[in-house]
Amino acid sequence: MTAVQLKGVRKDFGGFTAISNIDLDIRSGELVALLGPSGCGKTTTLRMIAGLEVPSDGQILFDGKDVSEVAVQKRNVGMVFQRYALFPHMTVEKNVAFGLKVRGTDKAEIEQRLEDILDVVQLQQFRHRFPAQLSGGQMQRVAIARTLITNPSVLMMDEPLANLDTKLRGEMRRFIRDLQQRLGITTIFVTHDQIEAMELADRVAVIFDGKLAQYDAPDALYKRPGSIDIADFMGATNVFEAMIRGKTATAPFGSLAFATDATDGPAHVMLRGEAIDLHLAEPPETQNQIRGRVSAREFFGANITYTVACGDAQIQVIEQSRRMVDLDQEVWLTIPPDRIWIIQN
Amino acid sequence: MSKTKELARHKRDRTWMWIQLLPVMLVLTVLFGGALVLGVAQSLGFAPWFGVNTFPDFSYFGALWGDSFFWRSLGLTLYYAIAATLISLVMGVLLALALVRSFPSKSLYKYLYKLPLMIPYTVGIALAVIMLGNGGMLSRLMAFAGFIDDPSQFPQILKTHMGWGIIAVYVWKQTPFVALTIYAVLLGVGRETEEAAAILGANKRQVFFQVTLPQILPGIISSTLIIFAFNIGAFEAPFILGGGFPDTLPVVAWRYFNDADYTLQLQGMATVVSIALVAGVILYSYLAFYRRYERRIGRH
C-alpha cells in the first residue's frame, strides 16, 4: 500500500520535451489510468515512476519519500509490459520465480510463493510451458504473476487490454479489477483507449502533449470534460458553439436551458447522445425541445445511433434498439437541463 | 479431367523447383563434393596424373601424424584460432551491447566499427607489419617518447610462436563481424526483457547472464562457428606474421604443395584433410554441446 505523488515532473530527451510539467496524486490502493493519444508522454510518465527513466526535473514520491534517484532494482515496483516481455528461454515457472531468485530468497519460500501465485492466476497446468506455447491471455497472467510474486508496492501496466480479443478483454478486465481490489495494491496503467480507462480505473489522468489535462473519476470525465479536446478524446459527438446568458445557451438549433454553473459569453455546449430523448410526435414539454429530421441511422446491435438534422446542426442520438425510426422522419428531441454540459474557454 | 490437370500442375511445380535448385546443386556437388572426394582420394594415394596410385594407402597420414612437428603445428593452429575467436567474441559482444544503448555520436561509431569488415585481410596484415613490427610505427613512437632507447628494443610481437600479430589481425577483422551479428540479434530481442528483469530486482550481472546472454546465444554460436572455421584454415596471416617452423597446418600444407618434389602434394593433401577433420570434429562437438544445452532448458 503506497501512495504515489508526482511533483512538477519534467522529462527531456535531448532537445525534445516529452513531459513538460506533471503533478499527480495517486492515493494508496487506487487504480489510476494514464490516458492520452500516442506520443503524449503517458508511457514516459509510467517509466519514470518505475525508475526506467530519471526525471529531468521534479520529484517522484512514494509515501512522501523522494524516490526519483532510487535505482530501478531497489524501487520495488512491478511492471507488466504491453507485449509482456516474458523471458522466452524460461518456463512459466522460472519466469514467475525469477524476481525472487535474483533477490536471493531461499528456495523453500520461493517454492511456497510460486504455488500460491500460480493458483491466483490459474496457471498451475501451464507451469512447464514456454511463453511461445501460451495464448495472449495466459502470457499476460504470467506477466502479472511474475510481478506480483515480488510483492511490489506499486503495480504498473502498459496497455493491459490492448493485445487481447474482445471476449478475453472482458475476462482480463474482471480479473485485474478483482485482483487489484483483493490485494489493495496501488495500480497505475497506461492506455490510449478511453473505454479501457473508464472500464478499469478509479480515476483517470488525461495527458495531452506532456501536460496533465484533467484528472477525475471516469463518469465525471465522461459527463464533464474540461475542454473540447478532452470531450473529443472521450468520444463526445454533440459539441456546438453557443452563447451563454444566465442559465440559457443559445446554439445554432435553438436555446437550451442548463443546470450547471457557467459565466456569460461564448462557449461550447455538449449534449451526450444517450441523454437525448427522441419523440415521433411533438412532446408536451416545451423546454429544451429541438425539432429535426432523421438523416442517418447506424445499427450496432444493442444500440442505434440516429443522426438528426436540426437546421444546419447534426445531432447524434443514441437509443437502445427497441424500435427503428425511419429515415427522413420528422422528430422532436428533448434533453433535461441537468444533462447539458458547458465547456468554457 | 480436373484430377489430371491438378497432377500436371503438380508435376510442373516440381520441375520448376528442380530447375531453381540446379545451380546451387551443381556448385555443391561438383565443385565442393567433387573436390572433397578427390582430395580424400588423393590423400589416400590416388594420383595417377603424377604416376602415383597406391590407393588405399594410409602411409601419408601415418607419416604426417607420426611426426611430432604435426602435433606442434596442430597445437599452434588451434591456439591462434581459439584465442582469436574468444577475444573477438568477448570484444564483439561488448561492442554490440554498447551499440544498442544510446550515446553521443553513436551514428559515427556505428559506421567506424564496420570499417575493418571492408578492408581485406592482406591489408590488415600489412598494417600489422607497419604498426607492430620492430622498426614499425609503435616501436618508433615508444622510442620517441623515451620508453625505450632504440626501436629495436621494442618487444617482439610479430613472427613469434606466441602469434600476437596473427591474433591481432584476426581480432581486428572479426570483432566487427561478431558485433554486427550480435547487434542484429540484440535489436530483435529488444530492451524490454532486460528492463523487466531490472524491475524485478536483477542487477546488471544477473540481467546479462540470465536474460540477455541466453537470448543472444544463437547469434554467438553462429558467429563463432564462422570465424573459428575461418581461423583454423587461414593461411596468409600465419604465413606472413607467424614465427616460422613449426608453422600452422595451412602453411605446412602450402609448403608441401609448393615443393619441387610434386609427389609431396599427396602429403599436402593429407594435411588439408587433417585440418578438415579437426575442424569438423570441433565444430560438430560445439554444435552438439549447444543442442544439448537447448534441450536441457527445454527449447526443443
Query: Residue B265, Cβ neighbours under 10 Å: how many?
Result: 19
Residues A197 and A271 in one domain: no
Please list every residue in chain B whose beta carbon sits closer than 8 Å to the beta carbon of residue A76: 201
Q: Which residue in chain B has the smallest CA separation from A145?
A: B200
Is residue B260 very low, low, confident or very high in pLDDT (cuts 50, 70, 90)? confident
Q: Does B202 touch chain A (CB under 8 A)?
A: yes
- Complex ipTM value: 0.83
What does the pLDDT read at residue B202?
94
What would the DSSP string read from start to end of A287-333?
TTEEEEEEEEEEE-SSEEEEEEEETTEEEEEEEETT--PPTT-EEEE
What does the pLDDT read at residue B117?
87
The set of residues, in sequence order, having a beta carbon less than 8 Å from that of B133 and lying 6+ positions away, is: B139, B157, B158
Please list every residue in chain B whose beta carbon sits closer than 8 Å to the beta carbon of residue A146: 196, 200
A84: domain range?
4-228
What does the pLDDT read at residue A286?
81
**Distance to chain A for B212, nearest Cα, Å:** 9
Distance CA A235, CA A206 (A): 13
Residues A140 and A265 in one domain: no
Residues A306 and A219 in one domain: no
State which of A228, A261, A288 marks the end of a domain.
A228
Residues A213 and A242 in one domain: no
pLDDT over 90 for what percent of chain B?
A: 39
Summarize the confidence of residues A253-276 as an average pLDDT: 91
What would the DSSP string read from start to end of A147-212?
HHTT--SEEEEESTTTTS-HHHHHHHHHHHHHHHHHHT-EEEEEES-HHHHHHH-SEEEEEETTEE
A contact residues 114-153, partner B, Cβ 8 Å cutoff = 128, 130, 146-147, 150
Is the preceding peptide bond at B56 cis, omega within 30 degrees of 0?
Answer: yes
What does the pLDDT read at residue B299?
59
The tens digit of pLDDT for each residue in B125-144 reads 888 888 887 777 888 888 88
The alpha helices in B2-114, defined as continuous H runs, are 2-26, 34-43, 59-66, 68-100, 106-112
What does the pLDDT read at residue B293?
86
Assigned C-alpha cell, B177: 563481424
pLDDT over 70 for what percent of chain A?
A: 100
pLDDT at A298 over 70: yes
Is residue A175 very low, low, confident or very high in pLDDT (cuts 50, 70, 90)? confident
Is residue B300 very low, low, confident or very high in pLDDT (cuts 50, 70, 90)? low
Is residue B298 very low, low, confident or very high in pLDDT (cuts 50, 70, 90)? low
Residues A277 and A212 in one domain: no
Q: Which CATH number characterizes residue A107's domain?
A: 3.40.50.300
Summarize the confidence of residues B106-121 as an average pLDDT: 87
Residues A242 and A206 in one domain: no
pLDDT: is B150 or A234 the higher one?
A: A234
Residues A202 and A283 in one domain: no
Q: How far is CA B142 from the centre of its chain?
A: 33
The tens digit of pLDDT for each residue in A31-42 reads 999 999 988 889
State which of A184, A202, A228 marks the end of a domain.
A228
What does the pLDDT read at residue B296?
79
Q: Taking the model in full, what pTM does it have?
A: 0.80
Q: Does B127 touch chain A (CB under 8 A)?
A: no
Write down the mean pLDDT value for chain A: 91
What does the pLDDT read at residue B1?
56
State which of A203, A228, A253 marks the end of a domain.
A228
Please list every residue in chain B whose beta carbon sits closer than 8 Å to the beta carbon of residue A157: none
Summarize the confidence of residues A313-339 as an average pLDDT: 93
pLDDT at A334 over 90: yes
